[in-house]
Chains A and B, each alone.
Chain A
Amino acid sequence: MVLIVSAMSFNMNAQNTSLINAFNNSYALEKKGDFSNARKELQTVYNEKSYEINLRMGWLLYNEGEMINSVKSYEKAIALMPYAIEAKLGLVYPLSSLGNWEAVLETYLKILKTDPNNTLINYRTGLIYYNRKEYAKANTYLQKNINLYPFNYDNLILSAWSYLNLGQQTEAKVLFEKCLLFNAEDESAKAGLKLIK
């Protein structure tokens, strides 16, 4: 019995060592820009139930330009850890490269269900809605950020333009003026105020 346990423990240690080595070699190859071999290094120890391997494979495949397979790898990682935000943040790289912005938005909304105050995702979601000319929706996400970071330029300027497009000039003016406090020469804020006056 003791022998069997020892043998299993030895086997596990050997597996872990080969996994650590594979990751280590993979990082070294990535640093050299050799993404293909960095991925192949991981394939030697590939385990479809490993979140970490699938996550890293997703990243390396994205860098190789293999967008479809990158999406598949990230999706496998997400299926293994459904609440993981990092895998979803990775997934949006290949999705946006494929031009699948609806899927990007869906991914952001899933992140916000787990982490409603994630400022990066709130800003990006606001930006997608702004580009779709859905200004009221854009402002919902931007205003969350402004409450948490009231003097963040990116949120202020995008929210100001959203208000202006919604015809709410008073709110837009206040925000454009705050942007000028951030940078008195800001061209975008000046252009916005010109439209109000």
Chain B
Amino acid sequence: MFKQLIKILFLLFCFLIEKEASAQTQFTFKRLNDSLSVLDSNNKAIIALGKLAISKQVDYFYLRMKIGEAYFKLGKTQQAFYQFHKAYLFDPSSQYAINGMRYCAMLNGQNSVSNYLKPRLGIPNKPIQKIYIETGAKLSNRTDSIQNIYIAHAGILLNLTRKLDTYQGYTYCSQKSSLYDVVQQQYMGLANIQLNANTQLKLGFSYIHAAVDNHLLNESQSINNFTEAMAISKQISNLTIGLNAAIGRLNKKEQWQLGANLNYSVTGNDKLSIQFKPILQNQNDEFKLIYNPAMIFKAFRNLWIITNYTYANTTNYIEQEGFIVNNNYDLTKDKFSVLFNYKTAKNKDVYLCYQFENKQRQFGFPEINQDYTFNTIILGYTLKN
């Protein structure tokens, strides 16, 4: 370890001394190449030297591949992807660069990126990518007035073309009480369009039908709601930045929202990431700021834990960059969730999610606010093809 450090420092020292020398001897390609060959197994030194070369406008395909391989060997697959992508821009026909990107994308869990790259290597994509099934309950702390909600969801992720994946989902929710019964059915269509290896565009549409039976007034009501969402994201090394927008008509209220998404992989792979999502929402000409920090970490070999806090500012905003619709009449003040995703086999995941939600019901005239909480448990299963 100490010897490696001395070696890195010595090399950096040599190159820094050369900075003062004349233009021709400043940073010679041959010397760089020779040093990279000598440092064959010293990945940290290769990265340090490579970065120094790039800062001096010495940038070429083989250098980016070398840095990418060094990052890959260190397990930093996000930075490796970035370097392989830079190499790919120097030579878009390089199978090595494409394969490097694809392998990193697979390890980073970026399916649509992997699907985008596979056909370039002559590997066909499977039309059915994943099947999701989940069920759960939202348990109220005030069952005298607010009943539990039961949820079931099924979805399928399909690959249509190299650049296009689509998710089709159906959700059923029911809430029954002595006063009223609500049955809600939702169709969700999502298109993932991979614009290039590191830029993705998402388009989403949800149609929600709610049937309400009011036992007290003995009348039935049918409500049709919809939302449309769009999000674009770009990955730059271990940072992913995104912008999103959504519009909707939820329970006769027009609303729109604009958001940003920042995701930083602390470890440069899927072991530890932090996220921050601020959202500006407008409903009934009232602006509200919502924010959502999250942390994703790999606890064990096959277990990922996602913790998430949302300050929802007493709204019913559209979640997950506008793709999950919170259609309840009641408003969310804030919530905390923890999700355990366990990979049981190569192609099977089981997840368990617990969520604690502070809710508020507004009713009557003059308006009365009634606070309550939901404890939500969701169990899901993912089958990958």
- Does more than half of chain A's interface fall in helix, strand or loop, or is it mixed? helix
Nearest CB on A from B214, distance (A): 62
Query: In the complex, what distance in Å separates the CA atom of A129 from the CA atom of B175?
Result: 60
Q: Is B91 a contact of A100 with CB atoms below 8 Å?
A: yes
Q: Is A100 a contact of B93 with CB atoms below 8 Å?
A: no
Instruction: Give the residues from 67 to 125 in chain A that come closer than 8 angstroms, CB to CB, to chain B.
Output: 67-69, 98-103
Q: Is B28 a contact of A66 with CB atoms below 8 Å?
A: yes
B-chain residues with CB within 8 Å of residue A103 when the two chains form the complex: 90
A-side residues, CB < 8 A to B, are 64-69, 98-103, 128, 131-133
Q: Is A64 a contact of B93 with CB atoms below 8 Å?
A: no
Size bracket of the B interface:
10 to 19
Query: In the complex, what distance in Å separates the CA atom of A154 from the CA atom of B120?
Result: 25
B-side residues, CB < 8 A to A, are 24, 27-30, 33, 58, 60-62, 65, 87, 89-94, 120
* Shortest Cβ distance from B90 into A: residue: A100
Q: Is B30 a contact of A98 with CB atoms below 8 Å?
A: no
Sampled A-B contacts (16; CB under 8 Å): A64-B30, A65-B33, A66-B30, A67-B60, A68-B28, A68-B29, A69-B24, A98-B61, A98-B62, A99-B65, A99-B87, A99-B90, A100-B60, A100-B90, A102-B90, A131-B93
* Shortest Cβ distance from A98 into B: residue: B60
Query: In the complex, what distance in Å separates the CA atom of A64 from the CA atom of B92?
Result: 28
- Assuming A68-B29, A68-B60, A69-B28, what are 20 further A-B pairs, CB within 8 angstroms? A65-B30, A65-B33, A66-B29, A66-B30, A69-B24, A69-B29, A98-B62, A98-B90, A99-B60, A99-B65, A99-B90, A99-B94, A101-B92, A101-B93, A102-B90, A102-B91, A128-B93, A131-B93, A132-B92, A133-B120
Q: Is A102 a contact of B92 with CB atoms below 8 Å?
A: yes
Query: In the complex, what distance in Å separates the CA atom of A69 from the CA atom of B58?
Result: 10
Query: In the complex, what distance in Å separates the CA atom of A98 from the CA atom of B90?
Result: 9
Nearest CB on A from B19, distance (A): 15
A-B contact count (CB 8 A): 50
Query: In the complex, what distance in Å separates the CA atom of A103 from the CA atom of B65?
Result: 17
B-chain residues with CB within 8 Å of residue A68 when the two chains form the complex: 27-29, 58, 60
B-chain residues with CB within 8 Å of residue A98 when the two chains form the complex: 60-62, 90
Query: In the complex, what distance in Å separates the CA atom of A19 from the CA atom of B352?
Result: 80
Nearest CB on B from A18, distance (A): 21
Nearest CB on B from A93, distance (A): 13
Nearest CB on B from A80, distance (A): 18
Q: Is B29 a contact of A101 with CB atoms below 8 Å?
A: no
B-chain residues with CB within 8 Å of residue A99 when the two chains form the complex: 60-62, 65, 87, 90-91, 94
A-chain residues with CB within 8 Å of residue B89 when the two chains form the complex: 102
Query: In the complex, what distance in Å separates the CA atom of A64 from the CA atom of B65?
Result: 23
A-chain residues with CB within 8 Å of residue B29 when the two chains form the complex: 65-69
A-chain residues with CB within 8 Å of residue B120 when the two chains form the complex: 133
Q: Is A132 a contact of B24 with CB atoms below 8 Å?
A: no
A-chain residues with CB within 8 Å of residue B87 when the two chains form the complex: 99
A-chain residues with CB within 8 Å of residue B58 when the two chains form the complex: 68
* Shortest Cβ distance from B96 into A: residue: A99
* Shortest Cβ distance from A39 into B: residue: B24
Query: In the complex, what distance in Å separates the CA atom of A102 from the CA atom of B94?
Result: 11
Query: In the complex, what distance in Å separates the CA atom of A101 from the CA atom of B87?
Result: 10
A-chain residues with CB within 8 Å of residue B24 when the two chains form the complex: 69
A-chain residues with CB within 8 Å of residue B91 when the two chains form the complex: 99-102
Nearest CB on A from B86, distance (A): 11
Query: In the complex, what distance in Å separates the CA atom of A101 from the CA atom of B64?
Result: 14
B-chain residues with CB within 8 Å of residue A101 when the two chains form the complex: 61, 90-94
Nearest CB on B from A64, distance (A): 7
Query: In the complex, what distance in Å separates the CA atom of A65 from the CA atom of B89?
Result: 23
Nearest CB on A from B200, distance (A): 23
Nearest CB on B from A128, distance (A): 7
Nearest CB on B from A43, distance (A): 8
* Shortest Cβ distance from B119 into A: residue: A133
Query: In the complex, what distance in Å separates the CA atom of A100 from the CA atom of B92?
Result: 9
Nearest CB on A from B304, distance (A): 36
